[in-house]
């Protein structure tokens, strides 16, 4: 049973940041806090204290707020990033299978998923949530900027090996576009057409809609 609360926080045009609150201690980690003001407001509104930054990869729209947030909040004592990814402000480089805790009892396991960047990581939390950055999107995958198709396949095999009911929290609201591309590739696939209609109806948190996060491993 998960001991944390996950709050998606929209940023920039289509990015997602996340506030992960340990329910026992009210200490929190933030995923990819590029918009420092917005993530601080989310923490304040939910009576949480940010102590940890979890960075999925080094691209500016995910890691660009790290140093500013650390300078702003004296409560932050750890900044995680993937081994060899050069994440700004990183104090703890992590790789496959590394584990640590947020607050009193929210457990984090690292999945090493290089391809989009050399040290991209995903964070599997409380055996209930996975934060996939720019590796897995809803109905899509990230660009192979520094990697190979084999690396992305290995990353997806790793993610899709998680329990079916695992919540999937992605790095961008790309779902409607991904579904449109899938329908272009398979124009007679009624399941895809249904998912595209659903995604368009959900809209985006960035524009006042509901958004499409989270998905689940079973759905992906």
Buried b (16+ CB within 10 A) or exposed e, 130-143: bbbbbbbbbbbbbe
37 is catalytic: no
Among candidate residues 32, 35, 57, 126, the one labeled active-site is 57
172 is catalytic: yes
Among candidate residues 62, 85, 120, 126, the one labeled active-site is 62
User: How far, in Å, CA of 33 to CA of 88, rounded?
Assistant: 12
44 is catalytic: no
Following DSSP, what letter does each residue of 139-167 receive, concatenated? TEE---SSS-HHHHHHHHHHHHTS-TT-E
Structural tokens at position 84: 């060899």
Among candidate residues 22, 32, 35, 59, the one labeled active-site is 59
Torsion of Cα atoms, 59 then 60 then 61 then 66, to 10°: 110
116 is catalytic: yes
Among candidate residues 22, 32, 61, 85, the one labeled active-site is 61
Across the chain, how many H-helices and E-strands are there? Answer: 6, 14
120 is catalytic: no
- What is the DSSP-derived secondary structure letter of residue 206? G
Among candidate residues 22, 32, 85, 116, the one labeled active-site is 116
Q: Which of 151, 129, 139 is nearest to 220 (CA)?
A: 139
61 is catalytic: yes
N- to C-terminal Cα distance for the chain? 22
59 is catalytic: yes
Active site residues: 57, 59, 61-62, 116, 134, 172
């Amino acid at each position: 049973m998960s001991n944390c609360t996950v709050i998606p926080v929209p940023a920039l045009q289509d990015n997602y940041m996340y506030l992960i609150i340990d329910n026992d201690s009210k200490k929190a980690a933030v995923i990819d806090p590029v918009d420092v003001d917005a993530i601080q407001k989310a923490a304040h509104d939910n009576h949480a204290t940010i102590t940890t930054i979890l960075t999925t990869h080094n691209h500016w729209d995910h890691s660009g707020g790290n140093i500013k947030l650390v300078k702003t909040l004296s409560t932050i004592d750890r900044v995680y990033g993937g081994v060899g990814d050069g994440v700004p402000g990183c104090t703890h480089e992590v790789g496959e299978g590394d584990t640590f805790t947020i607050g009193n009892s929210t457990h984090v396991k690292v999945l090493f998923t290089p391809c989009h960047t050399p040290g991209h990581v995903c964070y599997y939390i409380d055996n209930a949530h996975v934060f996939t950055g720019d590796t897995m999107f809803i109905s899509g995958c990230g660009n192979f900027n520094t990697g190979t198709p084999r690396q992305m396949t290995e990353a997806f095999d790793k993610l899709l090996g998680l329990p079916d009911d695992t919540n999937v929290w992605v790095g961008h609201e790309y779902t409607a576009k991904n579904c449109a591309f899938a329908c272009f590739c398979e124009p007679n696939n009624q399941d895809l057409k249904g998912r595209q209609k659903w995604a368009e109806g959900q809209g985006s948190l960035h524009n006042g809609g509901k958004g499409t996060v989270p998905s689940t491993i079973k759905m992906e």
